């Protein structure tokens, strides 16, 4: 039984958060700037891309988050401000300074994020005016506009909110995200912003975000490319007035459950909106000797172009799945391993104890007709498990990315 309640909402659902999403002219049309503001300074945690080629906003935000406090997040879409040299760094810093100025808060309290085309200089006159416009548009009901302002090739908004009772206080957690292509385990190009009115220790929030990210954003894959701009950021302003959540809090598990749901929902939403995707793939590995072995094999399956294209073509080619597990560097014994396919169309074990089974091709074809496909791998060697999510690789993925700048 869930300890949280799912509600219609976003980053302005928790107490004390305003947001906006506006069109400034960075993109020809559609909203291209988002601003999120907490009424008070908030405990804040953030994780960033593992790509050594990281965008200027990532560098600035890494510095600003060191004290684990923030009050505002400014995001532009349409321009990544990546590989733009010293000027790009200055531009990212200027975005923080301008946001701080119009909101009357310290510049170190501003997290900066960008997403879009790499290697193009920021149109700073447009950006500076846009920040003013975004600040003027701030609203306690602005979360849906904010969800739209961060999108690039996404086909729709990604938002979620839940309520959970902590110390007899209603605590709300809300989030928005963007991501459609350049998605690969260890985050990529995905942005996720989560707000809560929970009172939580900043060090504990930092550790919790790291732990949750391992099993959510770091377990998704669309195309195997890790972006220059990845970011996930969580703010907690304490306005729910619960007792401070730490590792010793009696209700910590309830909060963790709700917090993880929000991030998992956003991560899965990103995959479901994968560029050109026609299938949503969930891979679960169970009875693994270690959780890391389970994770490695899942990531390898999800990231295999051959597995992705087989799912797109509705071809139950277990050889591609087993091959991907084999080069994953996970420790397992092939003679103990089973592989099963499942969907609304049924469930068939296609590989058992090291070899293919005598399954009916028509049964597998019926399973693969559906949009949501599960690949279940049983190592039969331990008691650890993990789950990850991905999508197929279609003709449209090539079309979308072949014409991304045009």
Q: Kindly list the domain boundaries of the chain, sorted by start residue.
A: 4-272, 280-402
Amino acid 182: pLDDT: 44
CB-based burial, 369-397: b 16+ in 10 Å, e otherwise: ebeebbbbbbbebbebbbbbbbbbbbeeb
Sequence-distant (6+) residues with CB within 8 A of 332 are: 288, 289, 293, 297, 325, 379, 381
Catalytic residues: 189
Amino acid 327: pLDDT: 96
Amino acid 393: pLDDT: 80
**Nearest CA-CA partner of 188 in 150, 221, 155:** 221
Q: Specify the residue for token string 């988050």.
A: 65
Amino acid 220: pLDDT: 87
Beta strands in 143-209 (DSSP E): 158-166, 169-178, 191-196
Q: How far apart are CA 394 and CA 183, in angstroms?
A: 15
Q: How far apart are CA 34 and CA 283, in angstroms?
A: 34
What digits encode the pLDDT tens for the residues 66-89? 999 999 999 999 999 989 999 999
Amino acid 188: pLDDT: 43
Amino acid 397: pLDDT: 64
Separation of first and last alpha carbons in the chain: 49
Provide the whole-model pTM.
Answer: 0.89
**Nearest CA-CA partner of 194 in 160, 222, 223, 167:** 160
Is the CATH code 3.60.70.12 the one for domain 4-272?
yes
Q: Which residue ranges in the chain fall short of pLDDT 70? A: 180-189, 222-228, 274-276, 396-406
Amino acid 399: pLDDT: 67
Q: How far apart are CA 217 and CA 6, in angstroms?
A: 20
Q: Specify the residue for token string 């049983």.
A: 378
**Nearest CA-CA partner of 275 in 399, 147, 160:** 399
Sequence-distant (6+) residues with CB within 8 A of 84 are: 56, 91, 119, 120, 121, 122
Q: How far apart are CA 95 and CA 76, in angstroms?
A: 10
Is the CATH code 3.10.20.340 the one for domain 280-402?
yes
Q: How far is CA 233 from the centre of its chain?
A: 10
Q: How far apart are CA 172 and CA 14, in angstroms?
A: 5
Amino acid 225: pLDDT: 47
Amino acid 328: pLDDT: 94
Q: How far is CA 155 from the centre of its chain?
A: 15
């Amino acid at each position: 039984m869930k300890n949280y309640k799912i509600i219609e909402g976003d980053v302005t659902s928790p107490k004390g958060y305003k947001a906006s999403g506006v069109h400034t002219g960075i993109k020809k049309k559609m909203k291209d700037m988002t601003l999120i503001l907490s009424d008070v300074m908030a405990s804040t945690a953030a994780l960033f891309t593992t790509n050594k080629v990281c965008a200027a906003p990532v560098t600035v935000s890494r510095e600003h988050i060191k004290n684990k406090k923030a009050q505002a997040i400014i995001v532009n879409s349409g321009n990544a401000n990546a590989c733009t040299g010293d000027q790009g760094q200055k531009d990212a810093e200027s975005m923080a300074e301008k946001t701080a100025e119009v909101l009357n808060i310290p510049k170190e309290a501003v997290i900066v994020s960008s997403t879009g085309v790499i290697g193009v200089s920021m149109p700073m006159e447009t950006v500076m005016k846009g920040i003013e416009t975004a600040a003027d548009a701030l609203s306690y009901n602005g979360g849906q506009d904010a969800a739209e302002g961060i999108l690039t090739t996404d086909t729709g908004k990604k938002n979620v909110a839940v309520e959970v009772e902590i110390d007899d206080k209603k605590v709300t957690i809300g989030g928005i995200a963007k991501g459609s292509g350049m998605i690969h385990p260890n985050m990529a190009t995905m942005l996720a912003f989560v707000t809560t009115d929970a009172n939580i220790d900043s060090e504990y929030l930092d550790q919790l975000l790291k732990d949750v990210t391992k099993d959510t954003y770091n377990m998704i894959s669309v195309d195997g490319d890790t972006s220059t701009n990845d970011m996930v950021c969580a703010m907690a302003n304490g306005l729910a007035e619960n007792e401070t959540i730490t590792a010793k809090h009696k209700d910590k598990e309830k909060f963790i459950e709700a917090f993880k749901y929000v991030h998992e929902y956003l991560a899965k939403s990103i995959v479901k909106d994968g560029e050109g995707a026609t299938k949503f793939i969930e891979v679960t590995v169970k009875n693994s000797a270690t959780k890391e072995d389970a994770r490695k094999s899942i990531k390898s399956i999800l990231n295999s172009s051959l597995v992705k294209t087989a799912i797109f073509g509705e071809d139950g080619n277990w050889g591609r799945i087993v091959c991907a597990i084999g080069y994953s560097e996970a420790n397992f014994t092939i003679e103990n391993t089973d592989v099963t396919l499942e969907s609304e169309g049924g469930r068939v074990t296609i590989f058992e104890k090291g070899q293919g089974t005598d399954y009916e091709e028509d049964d597998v074809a019926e399973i693969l007709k559906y949009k949501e496909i599960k690949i279940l791998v049983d190592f039969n060697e331990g008691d650890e498990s993990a789950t990850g999510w991905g999508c197929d690789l279609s003709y449209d993925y090539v079309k979308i990315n072949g014409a991304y700048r045009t």
